[in-house]
Amino acid sequence: MNRILKNRYEVLGILGKGGMGCVYKVADRRQGGKRLAAKELQAGNLAEEKLQEALAQFRTEARILLRLTHQNLPKVYDYFSMGDRHYIIMEYIRGRTLEDLLDARQGKPVDEQLALSWALQICRAMHFLSVQKPRPIVFRDLKPSNIMISHDGKVKLIDFGIARFFKEEKREDTYVYGTPGYAAPEQYGSGQTDVRSDIFSLGATLHHCLTGRNPSENPLEFPDPRTLNPKLSKETAMILKKALAPEMNKRYQGALEMKQAVQKVMLEAGMQAKGGRKMIFARAGKVIRLPWWRKTSWVSVPVMALGCSGTTGTLSSDDRWIRPKAGTFGPEAARLLFRVETRKLRFGREYRPEITIQTDAGILRPRLIFKKTWPWILIEAAVAAALIGVAAIMR
């Protein structure tokens, strides 16, 4: 018979194991067998001082997450103790840690746009933590093993064991926490951590993703990322440089500032489609004008205009002249791309394709209006030539 925790949670298997406990996959019998994760702390073999420290961290994680709800943080449902074992019951995330993904790549850099999409979601979570009342929350151990990426591309920050509430009156942290290679310089005892410390850790994590170089091998040393990955854009390299500045006041001063920088780079990167074609950026409620001289046009549409922001879904259309590229998207997507066969459309006519979006929030059918512009330059040139010809005859 399987173990039952608190006469409620049936243990189905082990998701992960560490020196002081396990993470189990459990079924909640009171919620029809809903799958959840149970994080266990086994404190039996610890010395008293270490026991109290471990319990404090464990309770801090439970206390923080029980009161927070955000799409990029795991939801905590319960917290309890059974003898010398302590449990947090939280959302079960189907996916892998970023550490596992990077290990599998064996030093091969992650696609730039994909890594930036992860950074965008992490910035959202960090900003959410930084505006908590009465005090902001500093994560303090942002690294690949504490970042979970679900199968649908959603990022979750996990393991809030050493997170802390920021206190402005404190000059230094009582303890030195963080992981060498990802921890900011001030986490080695030189000052108090705040959101800029988490920004440094995100920069170190991004550097690892985009170069394939593990920073834990040489902490606080970050070579120019473009020397390790020549395909990396200058703009993204500048984001890494600023996030990894040794001095706190030279980094991004808030998660929102870094998020805006990442969004700008992602947007500008879309200006060139495959084959060097220019991107057409659509605006909500405006007719999308397609150049008459192109056989194929690439159109980028904001997810906000389609009504599917923050969701996971698929796109399709029965119209043969328009195709979504790609046909699926995740909650990190800011814009969606469409390939339009301009040569199949008539000049000046408006087209309203039947687009179907299936998301985890339901089925949507947004209305987009496309119009192939008239070749006014050629028409005007022809008219001018005709007028010149008439004038010449009349002489």
Positions marked catalytic:
141
- Chain position carrying tokens 């814009």: 335
Instruction: Name the pairing type of β-strands 137-138 and 164-165.
Output: antiparallel
Nearest in space to 202 (alpha carbons), one of 138, 144, 277, 133: 144
Q: How distant, in Å, are the alpha carbons of 191, 268, 286 from that of 222?
A: 21, 25, 45
CB atoms closer than 10 angstroms to residue 46 = 17
Question: What SS3 state is found at 289?
Answer: strand
In angstroms, the CA 235 to CA 334 distance is 18
CB 73 within 8 A of CB 51: no
Q: How distant, in Å, are the alpha carbons of 149, 268, 316, 326, 353 from that of 339?
A: 29, 18, 12, 10, 12
In angstroms, the CA 390 to CA 148 distance is 73
CB 358 within 8 A of CB 335: no
